[in-house]
Structure 1
Amino acid sequence: MPRYYDLTVTLEGVDAPPWRRFLVDAGATLAHLHQAIQVACGWEDRHLFEFASTAGEPLAGLPDDESEPPVPDASTVRLGTVLGDERTELLYAYDFGDDWQHRVRLEAVVETEEVFHRRLVDGDRAFPPEDCGGVGGYEECIALVRGTADDDDLRTWLGDWTPERFDLASTRLAFDADQAPVTFLRPGFRHPSHLAGVEVSTAAHPAPDEVVDGVALLHRLRAFTQWAGEGRKLTATGNLTMAAGAELIGRLGTDDLLDKRIGDRVFKTKSTVELRGVDLTFRLARQAGFVKVRTGRVSATKRGTQLGRDPLADWRSALRGLLSLGVLQHRYAHATWLDPYWKELVDGETPGLLAHLLVVGEPVPIAELQERLWQLIEVSFVLDDLGEEDMRRHRRLLDADVRHICRALADLGAVEVTGVEKATDAYGLAVEQGGVVTAAPLAAAAVPDLAAWR
């Protein structure tokens, strides 16, 4: 039967404190609790926050690479691990400038056949206006509303706020939810160096060599390195020759096509950079240190001639090479029709994305990854000059790029992508919908590399 925590949240340090009482799914994280408090109390989620024990021990908060000691990411800490028989109260600090302190008390654990994520039960009084200046500013706002102060600017800023106003019915409309909201707390992904201080359950079980041997991309890298051998001639622009590309399609088993036919037209392949699978293998082998380019020729390095002796080390080199190469930067390196402005930014988030999947340890909807990275783009670039249709087009392209990154990581065996459905869009083009991505057991072998990522 579903279980829920019955919680009361009360503002500390003020007379006649406002409070809220609600139920939240027992499986919720502290990120979900943060979101619940924000909505129930009327905060605007514009500042930092932190959960702590009543003794002041930090429990979780917004990821911050510079905090000492590091505070766990609230999206990775389950509510049930910090509340229960031994601890029935938490402290929640919001806005470290105004320093709003809340006491979260566990009233009961409720079991019911009804299934939901959270439900508002009761409450009283309005929480302070955002950015009003802490307890002193809150008291000034109350005094002004009661007619004991006279500041026209402040009165205008307060609008219709009064300390007594709390509309349970309208707050329930915003608060009650059947499904858990997206749990990320800021755009983008935390720098993967935080893995050094996080226990990843699968990290203690490195993938055996036979699992690594099942990675098709690693087989292609070995085959390419063997082909390169003591040296193969490149073109004047440093690319593989067309003859080499034609040979490597079969040798590597890629899906590339020479001289594509679309309808009655044949589009002649002009360069091997158009053979995405072959070109990626070449670039990745070089980035991973398996081959080198000298005086117009590509040849195997000493490291490359030893491929297969330590499959797990080979795989780690390949993953580091893929992250350094940049999945999107390779994809668009020679594109003449499009060069998305976000490719470096999103590629830079890929190590953190993989670390996030490792920490979460459960399937994450691809839509959640897409939404997080789109929000990062919105706060990183000025998009005000884009019309509504252009915004939709940019978002569709970004969503496709995120799926491309997930496929690239899956090709290397770092993640598993499941539940994707094929569909056709309004233009008759094949598109993918839905799906979840999970860190594969093999990804745990990358923890040391991700933790040391620069």
Structure 2
Amino acid sequence: MEAGASSGQEVLQLRAVLRSISPLIWRRLLVRGDTSVARLHQILRVAFGWQDMHLHRFEIRGREYGVHQEGGVFFDTNAHEALIGHLKLRRLERFTYEYDFGDLWVHDLRIEATLPLDPKRVYPVCIAGRRAAPPEDCGGPRAFMATRFDYTLIGESRSRQEFEDLLEDEVDDEEWAILRHYHPDRFDRRAVNRRLAALAAPSQER
């Protein structure tokens, strides 16, 4: 079935890849065609583990979409009313989602397929993915790539002192608090889907 105008009876299979990161950080998601752009922001936030502390926007066929936040961008289109399945995106057509205009995490999204709705399945759902998204406020793709080796070392150490010995440098308390809970190669799809399940109820949209 070709991607195009979708109804709530159709499901879009999306692949989201975080740009400028190697090896790739990505998620494959199933969302209903009647999912709003506002809801898609929340789905991506959960799928990648972002805490929704920063501004965001989508760019779809030259038009910007998003949920207005104080001090942020105003959007011409109501993101709660714009349904992703009604935007007539073609199969494999790319659009983008930007999160945090300071660090500028750009996610490239493509519709891989349009599928029939499975009444036994709860949507949205993450069906595949690899690696953890970078920690919030780490400086953006270039800064993350420059320190990715440091993040990997934390998985090889059992204490702060052992980590500092491996790094051959000291870390401050704030950096250690982030590092001790983070590993770049870790991705828990079940945990993501537990959080996505909270978005299934219509009352959660706004």
- Normalised to the residue count of structure 2, the TM-score between the two structures is 0.77
> Matched residues in 2 for 1:64 and 1:48: separation?
7
In structure 2, the CA distance between the partners of 1:161 and 1:60, relative to structure 1 (3 Å rule), is same
Render the CA deviation track for 1:327-371: whole Å, top value 9, x for unaligned: xxxxxxxxxxxxxxxxxxxxxxxxxxxxxxxxxxxxxxxxxxxxx
Gap runs ≥5 in structure 1: 185-454
Q: Which residue of 2 is the match for residue 76 of structure 1?
A: 81
Indicate the RMSD between aligned Cα atoms, in angstroms: 2.6
CA contact (8 A) 1:64 1:71 kept: no
Picking from 182, 190, 193, the partner of 1:172 is 193
Q: Which residue of 1 is the match for residue 179 of structure 2?
A: 158
Q: Which residue of 2 is the match for residue 145 of structure 1?
A: 151
> Matched residues in 1 for 2:191 and 2:70: separation?
38
Q: Which has the higher contact order (CA 8 A, sep 6+)?
A: 2
Structure 1 residue 18 corresponds to structure 2 residue 40:
no
Give, as a single letter, the amino acid of the residue that structure 2 aligns with 1:126.
A
Give, as a single letter, the amino acid of the residue that structure 1 aligns with 2:106.
Q
Q: Which has the larger radius of gyration?
A: 1
Q: Which residue of 2 is the match for residue 48 of structure 1?
A: 55
Picking from 100, 109, 116, the partner of 1:111 is 116
Q: Which residue of 1 is the match for residue 163 of structure 2?
A: none
CA contact (8 A) 1:25 1:116 kept: no
Deviation at 1:40, TM superposition (A): 0.8
> Matched residues in 1 for 2:192 and 2:71: separation?
36
> Matched residues in 2 for 1:116 and 1:52: separation?
27
In structure 2, the CA distance between the partners of 1:170 and 1:87, relative to structure 1 (3 Å rule), is closer
> Matched residues in 1 for 2:50 and 2:104: separation?
13
Identity among equivalent positions (%) equals 28
Give, as a single letter, the amino acid of the residue that structure 1 aligns with 2:107.
H
Q: Which residue of 1 is the match for residue 136 of structure 2?
A: 130
CA contact (8 A) 1:142 1:162 kept: no
Q: Which residue of 2 is the match for residue 32 of structure 1?
A: 39
Give, as a single letter, the amino acid of the residue that structure 2 aligns with 1:23.
L
> Matched residues in 2 for 1:44 and 1:70: separation?
22
Structure 1 residue 60 corresponds to structure 2 residue 65:
yes
Deviation at 1:97, TM superposition (A): 0.7
In structure 2, the CA distance between the partners of 1:171 and 1:88, relative to structure 1 (3 Å rule), is same
Deviation at 1:31, TM superposition (A): 0.6
Structure 1 residue 92 corresponds to structure 2 residue 113:
no
Deviation at 1:128, TM superposition (A): 0.5
Secondary structure, in 3 states, of the residue corresponding to 1:74?
coil
Deviation at 1:16, TM superposition (A): 0.9
Gap runs ≥5 in structure 2: 1-7, 154-165
Give, as a single letter, the amino acid of the residue that structure 2 aligns with 1:182.
Q
Q: How many residues matched?
A: 182
Give, as a single letter, the amino acid of the residue that structure 1 aligns with 2:99.
Y
When structure 1 is superposed on structure 2, of 118-127 and 82-91 the one drifting more is 82-91
